[in-house]
Structure 1
Amino acid sequence: MKYSAPRGTVDILPDSCEKWEKLERILRTVASNYHVREMRTPIFEHTELFNRAVGDTSDVVTKEMYTFSDRKGRLMTLRPEGTAGIARAYVENKMYALPEKLTKVFYMGPMFRYERPQNGRQRQFHQFGVEMLGVESPYVDVECMMMALTVVKALGLKNVTLHLNTLGDADSRDAYRAALQDHFRPVLGELCSDCQARFDKNPLRILDCKVDAHHPAMKSAPKTIDFLTDSAKAHFDKVCELLDMLEVDYVIDTNLVRGLDYYSHTVFEIISDDPKLGSGSTVGGGGRYNGLVEELGGPATPGVGFAFGMERLMIALEGADEEETAGIDAYVMPLGDEAKDVAMQIVAMLRANGFATDMDYASRGLKGQFKSADRFKAAYSIILGEEEVQGEFVQMKNNRTKEQTKVAFEDIVKTLEKGLGLE
Structure 2
Amino acid sequence: MTATAIPTETRGMDLLRFATAGSVDDGKSTLIGRLLYDTKSLFTDQLEAVEAVSQARGDEYTNLALLTDGLRAEREQGITIDVAYRYFATPRRKFIIADTPGHTQYTRNMVTGASTADLALILVDARKGLVEQSRRHAFLCSLLRVPHLVLCVNKMDLVDWSQEIFERIADEFTAFAAKLEAPDLTVVPISALRGDNIVSRSENTPWYEGPSLLHHLEHVHIASDRNLVDVRFPVQYVIRPQSTTVTDYRGYAGQVASGVLKAGDEVMVLPSGFTSRIAAIETADGPVEEAFPPMSVTVRLTDEIDISRGDLICRPTNAPAVAQDIEAMICWMDETRPLRVGAKYAIKHTTRSARAVIRGLRYRLDVNSLHRDESATELNLNEIGRVRLRTTVPLLADEYRRNRTTGGFIVIDETTNRTVGAGMIVEAG
TM-score by length of 1: 0.32
Instruction: Please state which structure has a larger fraction of its residues in helix.
Output: 1
Higher-strand-fraction structure: 2
Higher RCO (Cα < 8 Å, 6 or more apart): 1
Instruction: Provide the TM-score with structure 2 as the length reference.
Output: 0.31
Radius of gyration: which is bigger? 2
